[in-house]
Structure 1
C-alpha cells in the first residue's frame, strides 16, 4: 500500500479564490479599532520613551497597525515629539523602524 501524500488534499485546492475570500473575512473579523489614549497615558508613554532613550534600556512597544495591536521588543534610538515620530530598533532583526507616536498604544521598560 502506497501513501497518498499531497494527492489527498488536492480536491480541496480547486478554488483558490474561495480561500482568498475566506482569509479576508477572517482578517476583517480579527481587526480591532485603534485605542484612544487619554492625555495622562500619552504623557506616561512620552516619559517612558525619553527614559528608555537616555538610559538605553530595552522596551516592550505596543503599536497599532492595519487593524491590529502589535507588540515588539527592542530599543528606542530617536524621539521627536514635535514631528510625531520616533525610531525603534527591534531586538530580533535589529532593523530600524520609523514610526509615528500617534500609533503607539503602550510602552513598558523590560
Structure 2
C-alpha cells in the first residue's frame, strides 16, 4: 500500500504513464494511462485511460496495483 501511495504521488508530479490494476464489477482489470487527480481524504482518484482518453473516477479502495509503464 505504501509503495502504491509513493507511485501515485510521483506520477501526479511527473505526468508519467502507469499500469493500473483495479476491481470493477467483480473483475480484475488492468489498463494503461495517466493519473490526473488523487483525493486521499475522499478516497477517490481520476484516471485517464490510454486507449479512449476517457476520464474515470474511481475509489482508492478498488485499486489493486500501480506500476510505472
The TM-score normalised by the length of structure 1 is 0.61
Question: Which one has a bigger Cα radius of gyration?
Answer: 1
Which residue of structure 2 lines up, in the alignment, with residue 76 of structure 1? 35
Which runs of 5 or more residues in structure 2 are unaligned?
A: none
Superposed structure 1 runs of 4+ greater than 2 Å apart: none
Q: Is 2:10 the counterpart of 1:62? A: no
Deviations 1:27-56 (A, max 9, x none): xxxxxxxxxxxxxxx111111011011000
Count of residues in correspondence between the two structures: 69
Q: Is 2:59 the counterpart of 1:100? A: yes
Equivalent-residue separation in structure 1 for 2:12 and 2:42 (angstroms): 17
More strand by percentage: 2
Equivalent-residue separation in structure 1 for 2:7 and 2:59 (angstroms): 16
The TM-score normalised by the length of structure 2 is 0.96
Higher relative contact order structure (alpha carbons within 8 Å, sequence separation ≥ 6): 2
More helix by percentage: 1
RMSD across aligned positions (CA): 0.6
Equivalent-residue separation in structure 2 for 1:73 and 1:87 (angstroms): 13
Alpha-carbon shift at residue 75 of structure 1 (Å): 0.3
